[in-house]
Amino acid sequence: MEQTYFRRGFGLKSAIEGALAADYHSRVVDAVRQRGYVLTVGDLTFKLAREFGFCYGVDRAVEYAYETRTKFPGRRLFLVGEIIHNPHVNAKLRDMGVTCLHRPEAGEFDFGGVTPDDVVILPAFGVTAQDLARLRTIECVLVDTTCGSVLNVWKRVESYARDGFTAVIHGKHYHEETKATASQVTKYAGGKYLVVRDMAEAQAVCRYIEGAGDGGELLGQFAGKMSPGFSPDEDLVHVGVANQTTMLSNESLAIAAEVRRSMVRRYGEAALDQHFRNFDTICSATQDRQDAVTKLIAEPLHLMVVIGGYNSSNTTHLAALCQERVPTYHIEDATGIDPADGSIRYRPVGAQDVVRKVDWLPQGPVTIGVTAGASTPNNKVGETMERIAASRGASLTASLG
């Protein structure tokens, strides 16, 4: 009988290494790393964060998708959503014959066209327990690229549900990872979850825990962000905190501490273990990239350029961190920079729309910090630096010899 579920790769890395290098490698990035993460060209100095771009989980997911195409050359390949939140990587997979399935705004993925003869790739964020169950009934081949850090969060959330604790998840309720994480509570009868976006939402929950909130108002505020049949009076008595792996780590830690304080005020320190649980589920790669950019913006910089998909949670949080200290431009890729007219198209931190700015590079010597989200390949980082240099009439390729 054919094996229909794969999580550990196909041992075909040597067969796809050339394609991966051709699609994502950057000579410019290699050169900057070799020069101590600093490169000066004319009056421009680039300072690259020590940790940036593809993390292990993303690397693994992309490699596994390429291996899947090699392993099943004659099969139809489907991808549930996006493999990662990077438009170029997803476009490359489509060019390789992978069909992306999309979830409607308020609906479910349509698996109606998938047959037992097909292969379905599950993305790095994972899929909901319900979607996995639906796919298993089709009996198609499943290739699961879910990141190990995400799986660690799922284990915690499952343990909360198993022991009668509501999972309070710091995350974006509409994000595929958070949807998948929240769904893990459904594996246990009576499992409950509540998603808080930020400290303000967490404090609303904390006020209710301490007896100062209104149940109806709380249910209205968190409509669509909690498990069906959620009862604030019953489901906020025992709480376990978890987080979407790409959130700001210091905010996740602060939210957990705030919930803990409320539980102590309500039930007392001696009874805390009966009412509150928390485990560090912050992704180490997310933490490393946030730590690296925090160190970078402590240095003298004129501006920061953050490269990555606009729908990439970890990239937007890197941009938010940078904006606290230095003017920051979040661009999706190098095409946001136009050397011809000296303009940049970027999305300001906290905004939804992309704007265009002329003369964004200050006159005279400029020091530019550069980082990229965990779903941004090196070639997109290198291309961006090349375009910035071209805006000053310089060539990085020429300067590197």
The residues annotated with a catalytic role in the active site are 177
For 356, phi then psi, to 5°, come to -115, 135
- Pairing assessment for the beta strands 38-41 and 44-48 based on DSSP bridges: antiparallel
What's at 180, amino acid-wise? Answer: A
Say if CB 127 and CB 80 are below 8 A apart: yes
Residues 6+ apart with CB under 8 A from 133: none
SS (H, E, C) 7-66: CCCCCCHHHHHHHHHHHHCCHHHHHHHHCCCEEEECCEEEEECCCCCCCHHHHHHHHHHH
Give every CB contact of residue 271 below 8 A, 6+ residues apart in sequence. Answer: none
The pair of structure tokens assigned to 146 is 């879910």
Which pair of structure tokens corresponds to residue 224?
Answer: 């669509």
CA distance linking residue 351 with residue 366, whole number of Å: 26
3-state SS, residue 254: helix
Instruction: State how far the Cα of 382 lies from the Cα of 389, in Å rounded to an integer.
Output: 11
DSSP bridge partners of 39:
46
Can you state the percent helix, strand and coil of the chain, rounding each to 5?
45, 20, 40
User: In whole angstroms, what is the distance from residue 11 CA to residue 381 CA?
Assistant: 29
Beta sheet of 328-331, edge-to-edge order? 38-41, 44-48, 366-372, 303-307, 328-331
What is the C-alpha separation between 116 and 136, in angstroms, rounded?
Answer: 10
CA torsion through residues 191, 311, 51, 197, sign: negative
Three-class DSSP category at 99: strand
User: What burial class does residue 88 get, using C-beta atoms within 10 Å of its C-beta: 0-12 exposed, 13-18 middle, 19+ buried?
Assistant: middle
